[in-house]
């Protein structure tokens, strides 16, 4: 089988991304463990974990605008350099303050890298719009692989050489990703997207909130984040209520990761048969069903099976959202993706607190039912988006 140029570029970018993703997947584990093992409370460890999302929640829109002006390739490499600098601080002088500084800098660097990588793939010339979804799905597979691989590498390094060695190892790995980016065909030249730069600081925000179709896309992106965080945060809580072992809970989470990986692998085929809106309608409907069924599943194996199904559905969310954003505003793709990232990270910082408060008062079941209801509404809204798109296509065809 001969690969197309787009596929070769995406595979090259996946290789770079797997190494760069270590910063987030491994860094969060290292930060939490460092705080806990150096006298910090569980609450402080949670803050260290969440600090990686602080800068993306505040600055993703500006990072996206930066991508639009200078091009994704330059932003990717600048972000990789920032991650290396952040990781060297606790590697050379391990302390709680440098661990938090690393979390801030690496959170910024990883957000810039991920946004730029997604925009680089979105900018590729595709013969069929559905191919963009497939390649974005392939890129997400790299993140899934790093999510499973990163904590293992960091845990091994901590056990063998301590935290300084673990942060040094992550710096070396990200350094390897930076060097690799100069050796492979990474898409996204340095020219930037200067066709129609935004006028004023809130151009995309103004566009989104003045256009109901665009606003629907961004609200659905927030539901994708709600689902991810709801499952990741509440599955251990539900498992504790049911008396599951840590091994069983870990197995359930691994099944979810396997589901997202499988969806990423299949997206190039699915995108040739289903539009973005159609896929999201099915994915949100499946998510709603899984969240309604999880409280009824008292077997760890059954919850693992449901976790795989949810992962399979959730894996379709972000690639389709990003594809719709690029199609709606190709000249502001970076800023548009940045707004999505900012909204998603804001949900990631606030939703677990809300879930935890509700679970503390009423148990885990109401949280799962609530998220399931929101996902059902999102499925209905995706169906309306599909119908709206079909009407626009039919109208354009009749005018021709």
pLDDT band at residue 278 under the 50/70/90 scheme? very high
In order, the DSSP letters of 5-67 are HHHHHHHHHHHHHHHHTHHHHHHHHHHHHHHHHTT--HHHHHHHHHHTTHHHHHHHHHHHHHH
d(CA 121, CA 7): 10
242 or 197, higher pLDDT: 242
391 or 294, higher pLDDT: 294
| Mean pLDDT on 43-68 | 84
In the chain, the domains with their CATH numbers are 1-185 (1.20.1250.20), 202-400 (1.20.1250.20)
pLDDT tens per residue across span 330-379: 778 788 888 888 888 888 778 877 888 888 888 889 999 999 999 999 99
Determine the pLDDT at residue 202. Answer: 52
Determine the pLDDT at residue 194. Answer: 44
For the entire predicted model, the pTM comes to: 0.78
- Kindly tell me the sign of the dihedral angle through the C-alpha atoms of 330, 334, 335, 337: positive
- The number of helices, as runs of H, and strands, as runs of E, in the chain is 16, 0
pLDDT tens per residue across span 165-220: 999 999 999 999 899 888 877 666 554 454 444 444 457 888 888 888 889 999 99
Q: What are phi and psi of 302, to 5 degrees?
A: -65, -40
Q: Is residue 200 exposed (0-12), middle (13-18) or buried (19+ Cβ within 10 Å)?
A: exposed
Determine the pLDDT at residue 291. Answer: 96
């Amino acid at each position: 089988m001969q690969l197309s140029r787009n596929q070769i570029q995406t595979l090259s970018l996946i290789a770079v991304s797997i190494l760069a993703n270590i910063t987030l997947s491994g860094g969060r584990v290292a930060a939490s463990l460092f705080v806990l093992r150096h006298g910090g409370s569980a609450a402080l460890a949670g803050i260290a974990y969440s600090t990686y999302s602080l800068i993306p929640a505040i600055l993703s829109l500006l990072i996206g605008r930066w991508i639009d002006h200078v091009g994704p390739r330059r932003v990717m490499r600048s972000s990789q350099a920032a991650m290396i600098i952040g990781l060297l601080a606790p590697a050379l002088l391990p302390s709680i303050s440098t661990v938090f500084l690393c979390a801030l800098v690496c959170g910024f660097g990883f957000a810039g890298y991920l946004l730029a990588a997604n925009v680089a793939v979105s900018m590729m010339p595709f013969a069929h719009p559905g191919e963009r979804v497939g390649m974005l799905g392939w890129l997400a597979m790299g993140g899934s692989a790093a999510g499973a691989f990163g904590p293992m590498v960091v845990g091994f390094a901590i056990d063998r050489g301590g935290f300084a060695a673990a942060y040094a190892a992550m710096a070396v790995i990200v350094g390897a990703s930076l060097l690799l980016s100069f050796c492979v065909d990474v898409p996204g030249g340095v020219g930037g997207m200067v066709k129609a730069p935004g006028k004023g600081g809130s151009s995309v925000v103004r566009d989104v909130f003045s256009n109901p179709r665009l606003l629907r896309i961004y609200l659905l992106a927030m539901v994708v984040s709600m689902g991810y965080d709801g499952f990741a945060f509440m599955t251990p809580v539900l498992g504790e209520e049911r008396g599951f072992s840590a091994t069983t809970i870990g197995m359930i989470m691994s099944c979810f990761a396997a589901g997202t990986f499988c969806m990423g692998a299949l997206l190039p085929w699915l995108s040739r048969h289903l539009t973005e809106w159609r896929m999201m309608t099915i994915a949100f409907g499946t998510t709603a069903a899984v969240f309604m069924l999880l409280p009824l599943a008292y077997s760890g194996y059954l919850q693992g099976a449901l976790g795989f199904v949810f992962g399979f559905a959730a894996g379709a969310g972000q690639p389709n959202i990003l594809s719709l954003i690029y199609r709606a505003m190709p000249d502001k793709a970076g800023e548009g993706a940045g707004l999505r990232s900012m909204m998603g990270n804001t949900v990631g910082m606030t939703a677990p607190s809300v879930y935890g408060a509700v679970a503390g008062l009423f148990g885990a079941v109401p949280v799962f039912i609530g998220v399931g209801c929101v996902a059902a509404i999102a499925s209905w809204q995706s169906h309306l988006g599909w119908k709206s798109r079909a009407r626009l296509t039919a109208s354009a065809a009749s005018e021709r």
